[in-house]
């Protein structure tokens, strides 16, 4: 019951070294693409808030993959505030109270690197980190936030876990209980800072008066689901990448388009080979597998705000007890550094942490030969 409650599976999933290498290539190819000077100018509908240059990256990026029948890796989506690393770590040490030392050191370094890039000072240290989310104590991943807070506090950095409404705005920046906030670790799912409760954060971001990570810039370049449409465009990839890299990346991107651009005469007959996703969803909310979609539901989807993506069926993991789980894979990343790799086991239409004996699971690397 404890394992189910915390989203941790007791099972281990095999992952070939070849597939892992493909995943790492996708991560680094996309990061290189995002840093190409003219790439941002080629993107449609990049909001003003995402056009602000930050000079730093985003902690805890998450790249989610399926593996098709030919063992070709397919990128399903990118996240800028990927959750679950704590549960992935607990797969290996269920009784642990903190991240394993090696991973803890890597994680701390990523936050310090973000702050130093923001300050343009390799010796800068934040005095106060605010981990923010909407009503954080009510979030499923609140225990994970507490582990991060403990990590920062052990490094001598004061840390608070707060709702954005608890932040005070002053001319000099953001404050909590009269102390300046140096770094905001953003766990909130308003990625473009457009909601009323995030306007204090948005204004500080515009003024660059606080280090915000993850931030709207990186979300816009890499994690906005509409980027999958752009990456499905071979011409765009060839404009910014060498032909071998462009070809490699295109093979890893399931073809994606907006619903309004799909020919009506093929939409319903070919729906079983598609997945339908809101452009702004997270945690698989509002996602429909085509063969489960009714005509009424399809007609209710917003043509301008719904992605239609080639369906890549997840790997199936068979347990010794005869259970079957759908399986996807997540790489936790900072810039081009892979921090951790995990699998997620589930049953049902989409990834979830509610399946008995499902959840984050251990990875066993196996030879590709």
> 42-59: per-residue pLDDT in tens?
887 789 999 998 899 999
Averaged pLDDT for residues 241-263: 94
What digits encode the pLDDT tens for the residues 97-109?
A: 999 999 999 999 9
Q: What Cα–Cα distance (Å) separates residue 69 from each residue in 73, 74, 225, 312, 314?
A: 10, 11, 24, 9, 9
Number of Cα atoms under 13 Å in the Cβ half of residue 262? 27
Query: For 336-342, what is the mean pLDDT?
Result: 96
> Helices 243-252 & 17-34, crossing angle to 10 degrees?
120
Q: Give the C-alpha separation, 126 to 320, whole Å.
A: 49
The band of 2, judged by pLDDT with boundaries at 50, 70 and 90, is very low
d(CA 335, CA 354): 31
Q: According to the model, what pLDDT value does residue 163 have?
A: 97
Confirm if 22 and 79 have CB atoms less than 8 A apart: no
More confident residue, 352 or 287: 287
Residue 129 in this model has a pLDDT that exceeds 50: yes
- Residues 253-296: tens digit of each pLDDT: 999 999 998 988 889 988 889 999 888 766 567 788 888 888 88
Residue 263's alpha-carbon distances to 266, 290, 355, in angstroms, are: 6, 15, 36
Given a contact cutoff of 8 angstroms between Cβ atoms, the answer to whether 80 and 222 are in contact is yes
* Matching residue, tokens 């651009």: 261
Show the tokens assigned to 182: 């140096």
Average pLDDT along the chain: 92
| 2 vs 126: which has the higher pLDDT | 126
pLDDT at 3: 41
Pick the most confident of 82-86, 124-128, 235-239, 288-292. Answer: 124-128
Answer for the pair 241, 216: CB distance below 8 angstroms, yes or no: no
- The two beta strands, 8-16 and 359-366, are parallel
pLDDT average, residue stretch 325-347: 95
For the residues 335-354, what does the mean pLDDT come to? 86
- What spatial distance separates the first Cα and last Cα of the chain, rounded to whole Å? 38
pLDDT winner (highest mean) among 161-175, 274-288, 299-313 = 161-175
The percent of residues in the chain predicted with pLDDT above 70, rounded, is 96
The whole-angstrom separation of Cα 369 and Cα 367 is 5
**Residue for token pair 């509409």:** 226
pLDDT of residue 347: 87
């Amino acid at each position: 019951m404890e394992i189910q409650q915390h989203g941790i599976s007791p099972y281990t999933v095999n992952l070939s070294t070849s597939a892992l290498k493909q995943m790492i290539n996708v991560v680094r190819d996309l990061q290189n693409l995002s840093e190409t000077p003219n790439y941002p100018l080629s993107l449609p509908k990049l909001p003003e808030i995402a056009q602000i240059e930050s000079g730093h990256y985003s902690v805890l990026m998450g790249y989610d993959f399926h593996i098709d029948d030919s063992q070709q890796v397919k990128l399903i989506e990118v996240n800028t505030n990927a959750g679950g690393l704590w549960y992935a770590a607990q797969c290996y040490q269920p009784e642990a109270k903190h991240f394993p030392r090696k991973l803890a050191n890597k994680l701390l370094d990523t936050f310090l690197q973000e702050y130093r890039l923001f300050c343009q000072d390799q010796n800068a240290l934040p005095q106060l980190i605010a981990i923010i989310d909407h009503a954080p104590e009510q979030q499923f991943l609140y225990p994970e936030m507490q582990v991060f807070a403990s990590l920062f506090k052990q490094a001598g950095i004061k840390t608070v876990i707060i709702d954005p409404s608890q932040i005070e705005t002053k001319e000099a920046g953001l404050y909590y209980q009269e102390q300046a906030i140096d770094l905001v670790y953003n766990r909130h799912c308003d990625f473009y800072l457009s909601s009323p409760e995030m306007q204090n954060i948005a204004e500080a971001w515009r003024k660059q008066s606080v280090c915000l990570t993850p931030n709207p810039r990186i979300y816009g370049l890499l994690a906005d689901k509409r980027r999958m449409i752009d990456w499905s465009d071979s011409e765009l990839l060839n404009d910014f990448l060498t032909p071998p890299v462009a070809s490699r990346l295109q093979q890893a991107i399931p073809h994606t388009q907006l619903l309004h651009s799909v020919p009506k005469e093929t939409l319903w007959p070919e729906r079983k080979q598609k997945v339908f996703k809101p452009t702004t969803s997270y945690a698989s909310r509002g996602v429909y597998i085509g063969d489960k979609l009714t005509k009424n539901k399809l007609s209710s989807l917003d043509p301008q705000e719904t992605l239609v993506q080639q369906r890549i069926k997840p790997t199936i993991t068979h347990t010794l007890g005869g259970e079957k789980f759908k399986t996807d894979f997540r790489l936790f990343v900072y810039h081009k550094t892979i921090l951790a790799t995990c699998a997620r086991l589930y049953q049902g239409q989409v990834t979830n942490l509610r399946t008995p004996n499902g959840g984050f699971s251990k990875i066993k690397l196996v030879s590709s030969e």
